[in-house]
Each structure stands twice: as structure tokens, then as C-alpha cells.
Amino acid sequence: MLTLPVVALTKAEFAPFGEVIETDHVIPKLINEGFARRYDDLARIDVASEGGDVNISLFIGATRPTPIVIRLMERHPLGSQLFVPLNDMPWLVVVCADPHDLSSYRAFDASGRQGVNYARNCWHHPLLVAGDASPFVVVDRKGPGDNLEEMWLEEANWLRVVPDRAADTYLGITAKQG
């Protein structure tokens, strides 16, 4: 049985799939008479192809029944897609290089203080949250063209994601084929 190890989300581990959005090790600018900190250049938004423009949305994620079954992967061929959580709850990021190659799947524990910017064409699972009504700011592409490709997996290639701890956290998740 294939086991998909879940690792902590770090910039180095996630680099093949996009960018991790976090303020650790970033020196902020003090603004508003010193009453606010501004963290610049946290991600490269890539949406301009074929006349696209920036779209800023609010997603409200719902928890899925456990074990979570990975049946669908998606990608956006015309632009990046950035997710930043607003509730400080951990969440799960599942990505792969090729949905048909089970060895290319990776799973990451993201803290509630980390976001991700999926690179253009990065295969990823739709939003997986640890708590109901989890809000995320999403920055992606709007405009002409088809910017969503979905790949439904054959049942033999479904992955189960089983939280090792209570349902309100994703720390220590393991994923297994079948």
C-alpha cells in the first residue's frame, strides 16, 4: 500500500509547486505612523496571460469527512492561484507533478499562518481545511480563456488521507492508496 508522507510546509520543500506565503524572516516596513507593519513581495502573482487580470476572492472552506479521499486534482494553465488562511487554523496542501504518477504526490501540513501560491499548471487538490467555515483570501486569474483543468482519478488510484490526531487538526496526516 502506497503511503504518502506528510511533511511540514517549507519554502524549500514546496518550491517545485509554487511559493509558501509567510512572514518569517521577512523584514517589514513600518507604515501608518509606525502603527502597522507591511510585508512586501510575498508572492509572484502570474495571471496576465491571454488578457487575464487579478481576481481577489474570499473562499469559505468546509471540512470533509474523514478519511479524506483524494479523487480529483486540478490545475490552472493560465495563472497562479494564491491561498492565505484568515483563521490561524492548520490546513492540508496536496500537490503532484503528474496525477497519473502516484509517486509524484506530496502532502504538506500548513500552519494557519502559512499560505501557498500554486504556480501556473501546478496540479493540486481543492481546498482541504481543518475547521468548518475556514476563510481564505484567494488571489487568482479572471478573464478570457479556460483557466481550470480537472483530472478525476480512477478509483484504483484514489488516495486516502487519514488524520492521526483529532479531527480539528491536520498535524501528522498520512495518506494511503486505496
Distance CA 143, CA 129 (A): 28
Q: Indicate the DSSP class of residue 128.
A: E
Distance CA 12, CA 68 (A): 26
Is the pLDDT at 176 greater than 80, yes or no? no
* pLDDT band with cut points at 50, 70 and 90 for residue 165: very low
The fraction of the chain above a pLDDT of 70, given in percent, is 88
Domain covering 3-177 in this structure, CATH number: 2.60.120.480
Q: How many other β-carbons are positioned within 10 Å of the β-carbon of residue 84?
A: 18
Is the pLDDT at 172 greater than 80, yes or no? no
Residues in the chain: 178
Q: Are 115 and 84 in contact (CB under 8 A)?
A: yes
* pLDDT band with cut points at 50, 70 and 90 for residue 66: confident
Is the pLDDT at 166 greater than 50, yes or no? no
pLDDT digits (tens, 9 = 90+) for 100-112: 999 999 999 999 9
* pLDDT band with cut points at 50, 70 and 90 for residue 68: confident
- The region of weakest confidence among 27-31, 77-81, 173-177 is 173-177
* pLDDT band with cut points at 50, 70 and 90 for residue 83: very high
> Average pLDDT of 149-175?
67
> Average pLDDT of 57-75?
92
> Average pLDDT of 135-154?
96
Distance CA 20, CA 11 (A): 5
Distance CA 123, CA 138 (A): 17
